[in-house]
Every structure is written in C-alpha cells, then in structure tokens.
C-alpha cells in the first residue's frame, strides 16, 4: 500500500508560495467580496467532487458553524498522508500549502473577474485564520492544523479508524474579506446544482447559525435538474436524456419542452457553469436546429426554423466532463475544445432523431410550436420595421415622453424609468439636465414571461423603453448602442411599485440580459421616512435604518412616512434619490443564472412575496461611488 500512496502523492506538482495569495487574493478568488468568500467553500468541495467524479465518494457534508467556520467532509479515499519523495512533506501538507494542479479533471484556470476554478484548497488555507484537516485512510486517522497557510504542527497520527475520507474545517480571515458572513441560500443553490450534475451523489448542507438543513440526492442527475427547472411550467413530454462515455470524456444531455416562451439552456464543463457557452453548446444548438428542420420538412414539406425558434420553451442541460478543458472568454466560462462540437452534435443528432421517430405526436407538437415561434419572430421583425419607419418619419426618433439629457457620452449618462406621470414630472424638474434623462412609464407593462416577442412589440410602454435605450432587443441587440450606461428603475416602494419594477426586470432579463450582465441596471432607493429633530433632517430607506436612528436620536423627533414618489417635491427627490453624491442605488446582478431564471419564472406567478424576496435577494446594495 505504501508504494501506491507514494505514487498518489507524487502526482501533485508544486507551483508557488502562499504569500502571493494573501497579498493579492483577488487574483486567485476573483474578489474579496461575497463571491470570493463563497468560492472558499466551492474550492474545498471541488476536491470532494473530484473524488465523486471518479466514483470514490458518494457523500459530502457541508456545515456552516456559528462564527462562520465551515466544515466540509467527504467519504473519499482520503488525501495521501505519506511523504512526497521529492518535497519531503506529506501529501496532506503539500495539498494544503502549495498551489497545485488538480487531479484527473484539471480545472486549472481562473476567471479574471469574479471567480476561479481549481486553483486548489491551498488558496483557502492561505486566506483562513485557521484551517484543520483530518484524513482517514488505510485504517489510520491523521490530523494537521494551519494558520493563514502556515502549519502550526506537522501531520499527527491520531489513531486507528475503520472509516475513510477527508474533513476540512476553515475559518475565513477577517483581515482579507469585507465580510465573512456566509449566505445559506447561496451555498444551497450551488450544492443543489452539484448534486444534479453528479448523479447519485448525496450532498448535505447544515447551517448551525440558524438551525437550517437541506439534503440533495438525485438518482436522476440532470433529468432531475430539468424537472426542477420546469416545476412551475407545463412540460409537453417526458425529458429526453442522452449520454455518451468515451475514455475520460463523458457527455450528458437532458432536455424538455414546455408551453412557455422562454428558453432555459444551461451548459456545464466539469461542473462549471459555462455562462459564455462554447463548443459543447454550439454542437447542441446546431444538431437541434438541423434535426427539427429536417423533421419539419418531412411532415410539412418546407421549414425555415431559426436556432431561436427551435429553442422557444426549451429547458436543457448540457453537461460534459473532460480531462483538459480549454476555457476562453472574458470570464473564462466559454469552452474552446474544438473536438467537442462534433461529438455533441452527433450524440444529439442520433438521440433526437430516434426520439422524433418514436414519438411522432410529441414531435409534431414541438414542430408546430417552433413554426408559430417563427411566425411571431417574423411579425416582430415587421413590427420593429414599422416602429423604425414611423419614428424615422417623425422628427425625433425618440419616444415623445422622453426628457433627454445634453451629455452624449453614454458612459456619463443615466436614464430614470419612472412610474407615473406625477413622479415623472418631479423627476424632470429635480434632475440634472446635463446627464440625467427621464422616461415616465404609465402603469403596468406587459408580463413578458407569458407573451411572445410579437406581442411584446405591440406594447407601447416596452417600445418606449427599447427606443430610449437604443440597443434594440433579442437577436438585433447591440450593447454598444446603449445610450446610457445606467438604467435606473424608480418606482414607489409599495407592492404595486415592486410589481412594476419586477415586470421591467423580467423584460430586461428575457430580452436584454446583457444590460444586466454589464451592470447597467439599477433600482433607485427612494426614502421610506423623513425623520426631523430640531433643524436636522434624516432620510432613511428601510425599517431597520429607521429603528436604529430612532434609538440613536431619542425623543423630540417628527417622523413622516413617504407613501410614494409623488409625495416628494423635485428638490427632495433630487436630494434623496437622484443626487449621485447622496443617493443609494441597488445594482441588479445575476449571481446565479439558474437561480435567476427560477426567480423570474416564479416572479410571474401571482404571489407577491417572491417579488419582494427577489428585490431583497438579487439587488446588491451599492453606494453610488461615481462622484
């Protein structure tokens, strides 16, 4: 057994010290904000997942303890404990103190902005006040402790054991991170995704701070993933599942059409969400478009179905596992391996053709839906042409209600989408005409989740927004044409205001997602209360802030609750909500594409609560720092 252990240990290659990690943590974990903090957990779990991917582990436990100390435990083979022949230190110390290339499924790359894949658990060690590791392997239990990456003692033999596996407990270093407060739901979403992507693996998450616990175990793997994504929709057939394994390469596709109009296609490589797509996704889309056009030709005589038409209402997961992925793109989440395109194309072509032949009634439904999508797309194109021609005829090509700003450089300008004419009037008077444009919106806009693009192009409110922003939508969308780099939704803080805000966000998410990804979309934060004490005036935005301030100010104050934007005069609106030096804006970020998609699908249900939760959860509060 010893020689095997020695072989296992020497697979680790030693790269660099950990001082560099503590000096420039963002180079290794993307940021020292919430995303970077949560990557610590993902980095540790990744090692357990690597054990699961080669069939050596089927149970992972994640525990967030009081004080935000995290324990991850797996029942894999256990990190090799004997000395590395060259480095003369144990495999455990090597893994914990040297940046290493991973194992078989090397994910060694890191995103420039916001994240990393596979820089290794040593990075976690360097950024933790304390980290302890316990290994049970070959009937022995070993333990070692580190502080900020430096060992406080050598690997210690604790005694005999009948179990096997690895346990890592770490506490993030408060000196490195803005906050070390883990968000349970954020961890839950990623663990659920990993359980879907690794069929049969049980992942348990426990939050001892709030006595919460969740367990994920999907024998259906990505079939369960598709069913989960479609649980609020109406599927039109049972999920299609395709799989191919060749050596170290494994492909899986699960897909299911529903009656909805939105497309939910997510692609993964070695459990990494390839947000920017790549050759696996191209192979899938190419095969799907070709197969459905061929089948449509067979039953209808002709077909001109676009790649978008055939994906209307489609939920699909493409998950591949390959030993040497080449990640490209701005955030290193685009797969570049060119051989993968053909392999995925042939898997999907064979699998899909078989499905279409075997279930002609479902095949016909899918084709008819794609054909009506094509008709809607054509109608939308004509509607856009009409709008363009109409506005070309008029003097201004911009919506009449828009009060534009004088500055022409979009990186210096912002547009407020304001609910209601009275608030719109105050905003027009209160704003800076130099860099702030105002577009008043009348009442509710169309619920795009339930409408096709042709119907959307008949909604005047939506056309006003599209025209004012200037980028067009869907396949014509071009972010370089954006006329403003801040698009600020300003609605009342009540239920109706929240509903209008989420309707606008749903439209942006479904038809102008790049605006959100580019960080252009914000929510204005009008004050909820004005608190006066003598000559002093305080505007507060939340109940919590109010309580805190009342405690601080004591008695002898006056409290005014703002019901809506219309209650403020232009100066107050400027002072509290529009002045870049005083206002607070919430920037809308899509932290998790799967979660965001679920939220928008749920948002269009009728319950009010999910909308409030969505605003709370997905809008990261940012103090506007561009003075």
253 binds ligand 28F per the rule CB under 6 A: no
77 binds ligand 28F per the rule CB under 6 A: yes
Smallest CA-to-CA distance from 498 within 538, 534, 468, 525 is with 525
Stretches 70-78, 200-208, 349-357, 477-485: which one binds ligand 28F (CB under 6 A)? 70-78
Q: Say if residues 39 and 32 touch (Cβ distance below 8 Å).
A: no
Nearer to ligand 28F, 56 or 263 (CB): 56
Out of 18, 29, 44, 318, the residue judged to bind ligand 28F by CB under 6 A = 44
Smallest CA-to-CA distance from 600 within 190, 262, 273 is with 262
Among left, alpha and beta (phi > 0; psi -120 to 50; other), residue 13 is beta
Residue nearest to ligand 28F (CB): 47
Out of 30, 32, 34, 48, the residue judged to bind ligand 28F by CB under 6 A = 48
User: Concatenated DSSP letters for 227-261?
Assistant: HHHTTTS-BSSPPEEEEEEETTEEEEEEEEEBSSS
Distance CA 244, CA 70 (A): 36
Least separation in angstroms between residue 167's CB and ligand 28F is: 6
Nearer to ligand 28F, 84 or 148 (CB): 84
- The three-state (H, E, C) secondary structure of 263-330, written as one string: CEEEEEECCEECCCCEHHHHHHHHHHHHHHHHHHHHHHCCCCCCCCHHHCCEEEEEEEECCCCCEECC
Least separation in angstroms between residue 13's CB and ligand 28F is: 9
Residues from 105 through 164 that contact ligand 28F (CB under 6 A): 121
Stretches 45-53, 147-155, 447-455, 585-593: which one binds ligand 28F (CB under 6 A)? 45-53
Out of 122, 166, 333, 454, the residue judged to bind ligand 28F by CB under 6 A = 166
How open is the CA angle 402-405-410, to the nearest 5 degrees? 105
Nearer to ligand 28F, 324 or 560 (CB): 324
Least separation in angstroms between residue 121's CB and ligand 28F is: 6
93 binds ligand 28F per the rule CB under 6 A: no
452 binds ligand 28F per the rule CB under 6 A: no
Cα end-to-end distance, the chain, whole Å: 65
Q: Are strands 314-321 and 264-269 parallel, antiparallel or unpaired?
A: parallel
98 binds ligand 28F per the rule CB under 6 A: no
74 binds ligand 28F per the rule CB under 6 A: yes
Residue 89, SS3 per DSSP: coil
Out of 30, 76, 118, 497, the residue judged to bind ligand 28F by CB under 6 A = 76
Q: Say if residues 48 and 65 touch (Cβ distance below 8 Å).
A: no
Please, which residues have CB within 8 angstroms of residue 359's CB and are 6 or more apart in sequence? 237
Residues from 3 through 22 that contact ligand 28F (CB under 6 A): 8, 11-12
Out of 25, 30, 36, 80, the residue judged to bind ligand 28F by CB under 6 A = 80
Least separation in angstroms between residue 148's CB and ligand 28F is: 19
For residue 48, what are the CA distances in angstroms to 53, 75, 139, 553?
Answer: 9, 8, 19, 52
Stretches 42-50, 194-202, 285-293, 356-364: which one binds ligand 28F (CB under 6 A)? 42-50
**Count of chain residues binding ligand 28F (CB under 6 A):** 21
Please, which residues have CB within 8 angstroms of residue 611's CB and are 6 or more apart in sequence? 498, 499, 502, 603
Smallest CA-to-CA distance from 64 within 216, 202, 171 is with 171
Q: Say if residues 242 and 351 touch (Cβ distance below 8 Å).
A: yes
Nearer to ligand 28F, 108 or 587 (CB): 108
Residues annotated catalytic, as ranges: 419, 492, 494, 496
Residues paired with residue 217 on neighbouring β-strands, in sequence order: 202
Q: Say if residues 77 and 103 touch (Cβ distance below 8 Å).
A: no
Least separation in angstroms between residue 206's CB and ligand 28F is: 15
Out of 40, 79, 456, 466, the residue judged to bind ligand 28F by CB under 6 A = 79
Out of 17, 103, 220, 235, the residue judged to bind ligand 28F by CB under 6 A = 103
216, containing H or E segment: strand 212-217
Least separation in angstroms between residue 176's CB and ligand 28F is: 20
51 binds ligand 28F per the rule CB under 6 A: yes
Nearer to ligand 28F, 70 or 516 (CB): 70
Point out which residues bind ligand 28F (CB under 6 A). 8, 11-12, 44, 47-48, 51, 72-74, 76-77, 79-80, 91, 95, 103, 121, 166-168
């Amino acid at each position: 057994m010893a020689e095997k252990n020695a072989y296992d240990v020497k697979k680790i290659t030693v790269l660099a010290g950990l001082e560099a990690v503590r000096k420039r943590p963002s180079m290794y974990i993307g940021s020292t904000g919430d995303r970077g903090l949560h990557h610590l957990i993902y980095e540790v779990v990744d090692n357990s997942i690597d054990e699961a991917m080669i069939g050596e582990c089927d149970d992972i436990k994640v525990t967030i303890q009081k004080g935000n100390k995290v324990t991850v435990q797996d029942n894999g083979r256990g990190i090799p404990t004997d000395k590395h022949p060259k480095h003369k230190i144990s495999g455990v110390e090597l893994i914990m103190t040297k940046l290493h290339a991973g194992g078989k499924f090397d994910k060694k790359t890191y995103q420039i902005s916001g994240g990393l894949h596979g820089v290794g658990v040593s990075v976690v060690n360097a950024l933790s006040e304390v980290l302890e590791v316990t290994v049970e392997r070959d009937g022995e239990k070993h333990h070692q402790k580190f502080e900020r990456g430096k060992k406080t003692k050598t690997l210690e033999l604790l005694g005999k054991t009948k179990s096997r596996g690895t346990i890592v407990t770490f506490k993030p270093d408060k000196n490195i991170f803005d906050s070390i407060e883990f968000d349970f739901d954020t961890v839950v979403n990623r663990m659920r995704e990993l359980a879907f992507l690794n069929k049969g693996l049980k992942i348990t998450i426990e939050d001892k701070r709030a006595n919460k616990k969740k367990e994920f175990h999907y024998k259906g793997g990505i079939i369960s993933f598709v069913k989960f994504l479609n649980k609020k929709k109406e599927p039109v057939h049972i999920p299609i599942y395709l799989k191919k394994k060749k050596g170290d390469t494994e492909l899986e596709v699960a897909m299911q059409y529903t009656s909805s109009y939105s497309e939910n296609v997510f692609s993964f490589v070695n459990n990494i969400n390839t947000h920017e797509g790549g050759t696996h996704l191209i192979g899938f889309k190419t095969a799907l478009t070709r197969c459905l056009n061929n089948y449509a030709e067979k039953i209808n005589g002709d077909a001109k179905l676009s790649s978008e038409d055939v994906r209307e209402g489609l939920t699909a997961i493409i998950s591949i596992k390959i030993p040497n992925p080449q990640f490209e793109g701005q955030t290193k989440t685009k797969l570049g391996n060119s051989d993968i395109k053909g392999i995925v194309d042939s898997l999907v072509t064979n699998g899909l053709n078989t499905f279409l032949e075997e279930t002609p009634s479902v095949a016909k439904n899918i084709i008819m839906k794609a054909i009506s999508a094509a008709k809607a797309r054509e109608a939308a194109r004509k509607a856009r042409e009409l709008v363009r021609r109409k506005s070309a005829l008029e003097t201004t090509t911009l919506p009449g209600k828009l009060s534009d700003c004088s500055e022409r450089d979009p990186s210096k300008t912002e547009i407020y989408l304001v609910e209601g004419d009275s608030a719109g009037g105050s905003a027009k008077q209160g704003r800076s005409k130099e860099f702030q444009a105002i577009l008043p919106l009348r009442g509710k806009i169309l619920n795009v989740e339930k409408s096709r693009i042709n119907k959307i192009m008949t909604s005047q409110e939506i056309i006003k927004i599209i025209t004012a922003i200037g980028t067009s939508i869907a396949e014509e969308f071009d972010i370089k044409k954006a006329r403003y780099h801040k698009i600020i939704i300003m609605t009342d803080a009540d239920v109706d205001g929240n509903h209008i805000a989420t309707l606008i966000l749903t439209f942006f998410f479904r038809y102008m997602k790049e605006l959100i990804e580019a960080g252009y979309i914000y929510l204005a934060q009008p004050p909820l209360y004005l608190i006066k004490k003598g000559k002093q005036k305080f505007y507060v935005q939340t109940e919590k802030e109010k309580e805190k301030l009342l405690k601080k100010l004591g008695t002898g104050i006056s409290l005014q609750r703002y019901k809506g934007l219309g209650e403020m005069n232009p100066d107050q609106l400027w002072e509290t909500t529009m002045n870049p030096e005083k206002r607070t804006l919430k920037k809308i970020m899509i932290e998790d594409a799967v979660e965001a998609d679920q939220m928008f699908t749920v948002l269009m249900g009728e319950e009010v609560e999910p909308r409030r939760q969505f605003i709370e959860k997905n809008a990261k509060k940012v103090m506007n720092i561009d003075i």
